[in-house]
Structure formats: C-alpha cells, structure tokens
Chains A and B, each alone.
Chain A
Amino acid sequence: DSGVTQTPKHLITATGQRVTLRCSPRSGDLSVYWYQQSLDQGLQFLIQYYNGEERAKGNILERFSAQQFPDLHSELNLSSLELGDSALYFCASSVGRRTEPYEQYFGPGTRLTVT
C-alpha cells in the first residue's frame, strides 16, 4: 500500500459525459501528478500540482482539467468523453522538493471505460 488513495476504482460512462476522479496523496506529500495509461501503453504525464498550484503540464487535453485543494487532495475532471479516453488514470504523489520527482508513489488507479 503506497498510501495514495484514488476513487472510484472503476468508472463506466457514455460518450459525451463528464466524470471526476479523486486522489488523496500520502500524508506529508505536497506534489500530486496525474497520468493516463492506455492498454499496453506507457505512462502519459498529464499534469502536476504542488501545494495547490499547477506546476507542470504534459499532454493534457483541453477537455481535461484538474485542481488541488487546500487539504492537498486533487481532482481530475474529464469532460465530453470520447471512446479514446478509456484508460487507467493514475495519481501519484511525492514530497515535492527539487529532487523528489524521481520518487513518486502511485495510487491504485481508476479504470475508466467510455462506451
């Protein structure tokens, strides 16, 4: 158990819909990262927050947005869903100091299926 929690574990929804994925980082971690992993693919970095502020952006679609709240939990919002958005979405956290990106702790993931 990494200490990072994600809900829900599974999500099945229809095209065009909007969903929210939730992540709680490890106690004490200030940085949260969101990743997308399609079937048998590598990890695609989406976005990173540090202590409530956006710190880095990867290949995140405009239909996707995220935020980190004062209690450090984070939410990833996916809207106007398409079939191609079906994937595993991981949240990871790290302490957040300069060298900490190397050591990230991942939650169990949310498996999103768009039908």
Chain B
Amino acid sequence: GQSLEQPSEVTAVEGAIVQINCTYQTSGFYGLSWYQQHDGGAPTFLSYNALDGLEETGRFSSFLSRSDSYGYLLLQELQMKDSASYFCAVPMDSNYQLIWGAGTKLIIKP
C-alpha cells in the first residue's frame, strides 16, 4: 500500500527555524507536495518537489530525497501567522489523485 508519515505536532519559537518531516511509502513516485492549512481555512499549495534537493520559496523551503523516501518542509524566521497545519502529499499509483499525510500542527510560541 501507499502511506505517508509526519509528526502530529511540532512546537517552535517565533523567529526560529523549524523542520517538518514526511516519510512516504509508494509503489511509484512522481513527486512530493506540501500544503498549509490554517484553522477553519482551506489548504493552500506551498511547494512541489519532483527531484532530489532543496527548493526555496521565500522563508519556506522543501527538500526531497527519493533514495530515502523522505522529504521535509523548512520554515525560517517563523512568524505567528505560520501557526497552521502542514500536509505532505504524494500521488497514487494512478497519478491522478493525491494521498495525504495526517498533517502536522505547527504551534509557534512568542
């Protein structure tokens, strides 16, 4: 089967750096996506990695290691508005839909 694992909760301090990990198990691999969801809001697309390495978009970066079936989302210079749930997702074998991790709740303390 296909599955993703990510920590249920991560706590960090405002201004710091935090890393949210995601390990996946799939029969085929096409890429790893990250989404952010604030409480009561809709998920919003953050990033997509198809190849190994680090992709940087402003304060957020996403990393992928296909050999380790592992990726992470790195958030720098944390702001209170970054408090949200973060989901990793990979496509099903059919490549038409995403399988979603259970989400990591990021708690930021002042």
- Residues of A near any B CB (own CB < 8 A): 2, 33, 41-43, 45, 48, 50, 55-56, 58, 90, 92, 98-99, 101-109
Number of A-B contacts (CB under 8 A): 60
Most chain B CB neighbours (cut-off 10 Å) among A42, A106, A109: A42
**How many residues from B make CB contacts under 8 Å with A?**
24
> What 1/0 flags go to B69-110 for Cβ under 8 Å of A?
000000000000000000101011011111111110000000
Name the one of A45, A99, A105 contacting B45, with C-beta atoms under 8 angstroms. Answer: A105
Q: How far is B18's CA from A68's CA once the two chains are assembled, in angstroms?
A: 41
Closest to B96 in A: A56
Q: How far is B42's CA from A108's CA once the two chains are assembled, in angstroms?
A: 5
Asked if A103 and B33 sit within 8 Å, CB to CB, the answer is yes
Given contacts A43-B100, A55-B96, A56-B92, contact A102 B33 (CB under 8 A): yes
Name the one of B33, B42, B89, B103 contacting A2, with C-beta atoms under 8 angstroms. Answer: B42
Q: How far is B42's CA from A43's CA once the two chains are assembled, in angstroms?
A: 11
Closest 6 CB pairs of A and B: A106-B42, A102-B48, A102-B33, A56-B97, A56-B96, A42-B102
In the assembled complex, the CB of A113 is this many whole angstroms from the nearest CB of chain B, namely: 14
Name the one of A45, A105, A107 contacting B97, with C-beta atoms under 8 angstroms. Answer: A45
Q: How far is B87's CA from A45's CA once the two chains are assembled, in angstroms?
A: 14
